[in-house]
Structure 1
Amino acid sequence: MEPEEEEEMSVDGKKQTDTSSKKRFNEGMDVNSSTPKKKAKKAVRREDSPILKKLIKELSAPIPQQSSSSSIISLQIFPDMDINSVNFRKLDDKIIIAENENKNTILEVIHAYYYFGKGYRLWFDHYKKTYSEDMSNSLVNDKIREHLPDYNKVSEANLRKRKERAIKIFKLFDGVGGEGKIYCIKSFFVSTISRLGVDDIDYVKAKVLKASQ
């Protein structure tokens, strides 16, 4: 698997490349004005987005056969995960370890985020039986802090970002067939998927499910 290089990318699939500040300034000036002009962003329809098209294509493919049991991460690391087995410290450690490995282990990173997101969802659904959504989310955050008591303010900001990514990853793959669909991914990093909006994820899910019918 050769995943694409991780870089800033908009939903229309265009790379966000840096140019010199002088060039940006000159290009942003109106010839008859001393003030920079803003470039109007052209709205891209979801059905025309190269990123979404590519993601839908990969997720619509059959789940590949695993030639080695060692590659089936979920069976070895997270057997029969339920709310009582959720340990956010261990799940967070899995993400950190996976992200520090070579980029060839991108599927392991996605798996790690998927199960962190699943752990969040299990606790959220548990609290939602009694409390509102906002209160349930707050209580899950308390549960995460309970498992990670040594996080300082800087680390907590990173943890919040990690949680938001995990929720998106879980929402996407859980909605298209579960963690097995992660093995269909060939060219996407966690960061690319996590930059998708909620509506984008819902659109991808609908297209993938329709293709499987």
Structure 2
Amino acid sequence: DFFMEASGYSTSSSNTSLYNAMKADALAHCLSDGGHFVVPWKGHRAIHDFCNEYTLTWMFPHLDPFVLGGFDDPHWHKPVSMAKQLAHLLHMANSRFEEEPTFAFVFHNILQKREAACLVRFHILDGRHTCIVEDIQQIPGQVFSKLADKLQKSQWAKVTLVEEEMALRVLHKVHMLRHDVPSSDAYKWCHRNEIRSLV
């Protein structure tokens, strides 16, 4: 197992008119003589693979050109997990999804990244605990929430306030850690020891 950054780009945006224009273009292409596949064009906007119902269509437009089987669709009355939906698509009879060579690999990596994001913990280097606690006490609580909103809108957002700069410095001192990231040396070592104990 190892991680692969599943990324793609689209000229479309979340705007409804542009999205409808993209769907109309896909439909026209598929209905034209000899039009079997939608050709994805490169763009300037990255596609987020977490909680994005358009990921499947944008990355594999020939498998789902009409956004009928997108993952994490917020309009569904009963939410279905991405893992269950992925298993269903791969186990269907005569499935185009099963025949696509990179489909399962890409979405397996997205599921691994989601799991890693959910099970992550904070880690602080020895000797910095007191310093970080003092810095956090000096920063008002709403500064972190405003900074989070600003960074979610744009990861290249500029900080303007002194408190935001202090908050960013604190964030750089706090690291994220997960004890069993797939493909890491510790993960492989753990499973090797587990296999040895069974033998």
* TM-score, normalised by the number of residues in structure 1: 0.23
Q: Which of the two has higher C-alpha Rg?
A: 2
Higher relative contact order (Cα pairs below 8 Å, separated by 6+ residues): 1
* Structure with a larger share of its residues in helix: 1
